[in-house]
Amino acid sequence: RKNTNKRGVSLKTQELYALVFATRYLDMFTDFISLYNTVMKLIFLSSSFSIVWYMRRHKLVRRSYDKDHDTFRHQFLVLPCLILALLIHEQFTFKEVMWTFSIYLEAVAILPQLVLLQRTRNIDNLTGQYVFFLGAYRSLYILNWIYRYFTEPHYVHWITWISGFVQTLLYADFFYYYLNSWKNNVKLTLPA
């Protein structure tokens, strides 16, 4: 809230994440997994929707939002993911297809942000670290999946595994430049 400069933050990516969480957590209405699980779902939902609200409605934040460079169109990602979820899923129910759609969409939701970073020559420390930790966080899921595969019976989930792997791959190029800039102690820039 103190840092009102949101240059370099993609509203499109934030909106896609809000959509990801809204479609994934429909089970909150029908199933209970654990208190931790429910609390984390509420945190993901409230944080993603409040970021979108801030970027659209907050006067100071909106002013610094780099709208002209953030031109990626939602439908190019949302529609293919929806079609893929309708074709490839484990059960043909509304909740399950929405859940699968959210898995596919999450894998590619970072793309508008990566495109915006590439267009913005001067990458903010905040934005660079945000993207790095978002990718690092998701890549840890892969370790978790390997662990669960060996410790839990019947733990085989191709849809989440392949999507999570694709998601991490999309970050690979960014990771390379981020770690290089960190190692050489220079400001992060991406090649045009």
Taking CB under 8 A as the criterion, the residue among 1, 29, 30, 184 binding another protein is 30
Taking CB under 8 A as the criterion, the residue among 31, 63, 179, 182 binding another protein is 31
In the chain, what are the helix, strand and coil shares in percent, each to the nearest 5? 70, 0, 30
Nearer CB in complex with another protein: 56/148: 148
How many residues in the shown chain lie near another protein by CB under 8 A?
A: 15
Taking CB under 8 A as the criterion, the residue among 5, 7, 22, 41 binding another protein is 41
Distance between CA 71 and CA 76 in Å, rounded? 12
Taking CB under 8 A as the criterion, the residue among 157, 175, 181, 189 binding another protein is 157
Distance between CA 100 and CA 163 in Å, rounded? 10
Q: Does 139 bind another protein (CB under 8 A)?
A: no
Nearer CB in complex with another protein: 21/178: 21
Distance between CA 75 and CA 158 in Å, rounded? 25
Q: Which of 79, 135, 110, 131 is nearest to 16 (CA)?
A: 110
Taking CB under 8 A as the criterion, the residue among 49, 130, 132, 141 binding another protein is 141
Site for another protein in 87-106 (CB under 8 A): 95, 99
Q: Does 149 bind another protein (CB under 8 A)?
A: no
Distance between CA 33 and CA 135 in Å, rounded? 26
Helix (H) / strand (E) element for 53: namely: helix 35-57
Q: What is the CA radius of gyration of the chain?
A: 18
Q: Does 160 bind another protein (CB under 8 A)?
A: yes
Task: List interacting residues with another protein (CB under 8 A).
Answer: 27, 30-31, 33-34, 37, 40-41, 44, 95, 99, 141, 155, 157, 160
